[in-house]
Structure 1
Amino acid sequence: MAITSLGYIGINSSRRPEWEGFATDLLGMQKVDQGGRMSLFRMDDRKQRLIITGEGEENLAFMGWEVDSSAVLDALAGKLDKAGVRVTEHSAARADERHVARLISFADPDGNRIEAFCGAEIASDPFLSGRPISGFKTGSLGMGHVVMHVAKVDGLLHFYRDLLGFSVTDYGLTPYPLYFFHVNGRHHSFAMVGSGRKGIHHFMVELLSLDDVGQGYDIAQQRSEGIAYSLGRHSNDHMMSFYTNTPSNFFVEYGWGAQIIDPATWEAFETKEGPSTWGHERLHLPENDAVRLKMREMRHQTARDGFRAPDPTPNCAWLDAVVRAE
Structure 2
Amino acid sequence: MELKSLGYIGIQSAKLDDWSNLATRLLGMQEVDRGGKLRAFRMDDRKQRLVVDGDHDNGLGFLGWEVDHKSDLQSIAARFESHGTAVTAGSRALADARHVAELISFADPGGNRIEIFWKPELASEPFVPGRPISGFRTGPLGMGHAVLNVDDIEPMLAFYRDLLGFHVSDYGLTPYKLYFFHLNGRHHSFAMVESGKRSMHHFMVELGSLDDVGQGYDLAQPDEGRVAYTLGRHTNDHVTSFYSHTPSGFFIEYGWGGRVIDPETWQPHETFDGPSLWGHERLYMPEDMRGRLRNMRLDAAARGVQVPDPSVPPLNCPWLDSVIARE
TM bracket, shorter-chain basis: over 0.9
Matching residue's letter, 2:215: Q
Q: What residue number does 2:35 align with? A: 35
Q: What residue number does 2:96 align with? A: 96
User: 1:247 Cα deviation (Å)?
Assistant: 1.0
Q: What residue number does 1:305 align with? A: 303
User: 1:55 Cα deviation (Å)?
Assistant: 2.4
- Superposed CA deviations along residues 212-239 of structure 1, whole A, max 9, x for unmatched, are 0000000010212111000000000000
Q: What residue number does 2:127 align with? A: 127
- Superposed CA deviations along residues 65-118 of structure 1, whole A, max 9, x for unmatched, are 000010111111111111111000011111000000001100000100000000
CA contact (8 A) 2:28 2:131 kept: yes
Give the TM-score normalised by the residue count of structure 1: 0.96
Cα distance change of structure 1 residues 270 and 318 upon mapping to structure 2, 3 Å threshold: closer
CA contact (8 A) 1:13 1:59 kept: yes
Q: What residue number does 2:227 align with? A: 227
CA contact (8 A) 1:180 1:188 kept: yes
1:153-192 paired onto structure 2 within 5 Å? 153-192=153-192
CA contact (8 A) 1:209 1:317 kept: no
Matching residue's letter, 1:83: H
Cα distance change of structure 1 residues 314 and 149 upon mapping to structure 2, 3 Å threshold: closer
1:8-157 paired onto structure 2 within 5 Å? 8-157=8-157
User: 1:57 Cα deviation (Å)?
Assistant: 2.5
For structure 1, the 5+ residue unaligned runs are none
Cα distance change of structure 1 residues 319 and 138 upon mapping to structure 2, 3 Å threshold: closer
Matching residue's letter, 2:160: Y
Point out the more displaced range, 32-41 or 48-57.
32-41
Matching residue's letter, 2:196: G
- Superposed CA deviations along residues 27-54 of structure 1, whole A, max 9, x for unmatched, are 0000003523210000000000000011
CA contact (8 A) 2:16 2:37 kept: no
Distance between the aligned counterparts of 2:145 and 2:314, measured in 1?
22
Q: What residue number does 1:261 align with? A: 261
Q: What residue number does 1:292 align with? A: 290
CA contact (8 A) 1:88 1:106 kept: yes
Distance between the aligned counterparts of 2:282 and 2:77, measured in 1?
40
Distance between the aligned counterparts of 2:18 and 2:176, measured in 1?
33
Distance between the aligned counterparts of 1:71 and 1:27, measured in 2?
35
Distance between the aligned counterparts of 2:85 and 2:313, measured in 1?
42
Identity %, equivalent residues: 58
CA contact (8 A) 2:149 2:199 kept: yes
What secondary structure sits across from 1:97 in the alignment? helix
Distance between the aligned counterparts of 1:33 and 1:62, measured in 2?
18
Matching residue's letter, 2:117: F
Distance between the aligned counterparts of 1:214 and 1:59, measured in 2?
27
Give the TM-score normalised by the residue count of structure 2: 0.96
CA contact (8 A) 1:178 1:194 kept: yes
Cα distance change of structure 1 residues 81 and 314 upon mapping to structure 2, 3 Å threshold: closer
Cα distance change of structure 1 residues 153 and 36 upon mapping to structure 2, 3 Å threshold: same
What secondary structure sits across from 1:101 in the alignment? strand
For structure 2, the 5+ residue unaligned runs are none
Matching residue's letter, 2:89: E
Distance between the aligned counterparts of 2:33 and 2:321, measured in 1?
27
